[in-house]
Amino acid sequence: MKAGYVKRFSPVERLLHWVNAAGFFFLLVTGLILYLPSLSVLVSRRQTVQAIHFWGGVGWLGALAAVVVLGFRRLLATAREIEQFDKDDVLWLRGRKTPQGRFNAGQKVNAALTAAFAVLFGVSGLLLWFGEQDTRFRFASTVILHDGLMYISLALLAGHLYLALIHPATRHALRGMTLGDVRVEWAMRHHPKWTPEGVQVDWARRHHTPWKPEFADADRSRRR
């Protein structure tokens, strides 16, 4: 571990994030070609794009499932961490500056919505595909659901990209999702309730003095 940094995300957590991101952007591009008449006319091969969009969605969900199976134990622990919503999280969502854990309340909500939207995109996409083959599966509400999910996802994506790439206070978080670690002082400023793995924290002094990681004896001996 680099001096002055603590591990925030494991390799499997980062893999899940980037597989999801890559699949989403691919489906966004092919979906917009189908959705916008001007792009459909420009590409002119609607049926081909439609097939690419559908099978790309199948591949996206399959890849996500494979990552979950690969790192099930680690991701299960992460899911349990995300589903823990306490009073500080509620107050944070109301605009209060309350201490947060490894995931703040906004990130927990975003993770839950992302998982739910993946399922809903998959179900509505399947119904749309089968509706093209058999009118018994053709429902007007399916199109509304699929398109509505796209609009909401675009809004969430815009906010996510702003915080990850532009906002000065939060863009350092991108390092955690690319390299896995973040600066100690940044972690303690934004996630003071988080206790990094393999690091001992003096809780009594945590909110009063700058926090420095104290590695366990075994870890310290490996660093000599």
Upper half-sphere CA count for residue 66 (Cβ side, 13 Å): 9
Query: Tens digit of pLDDT for each residue in 106-128?
Result: 999 999 999 999 999 999 999 99
Does residue 2 surpass a pLDDT of 90? no
Please, which residues bridge with residue 215 across strands? Answer: 199
For the chain, give every domain's residue range: 8-181
Query: Tens digit of pLDDT for each residue in 158-175?
Result: 999 999 999 999 999 999
This prediction has a pTM of 0.84
Residue 205, C-beta contacts closer than 8 angstroms, at least 6 positions apart:
211
**CA–CA dist 125, 209 (Å, integer):** 52
Query: Tens digit of pLDDT for each residue in 73-99?
Result: 999 999 999 999 999 999 999 999 999
Which CATH topology does 8-181 take?
Fumarate Reductase Cytochrome B subunit (1.20.950)
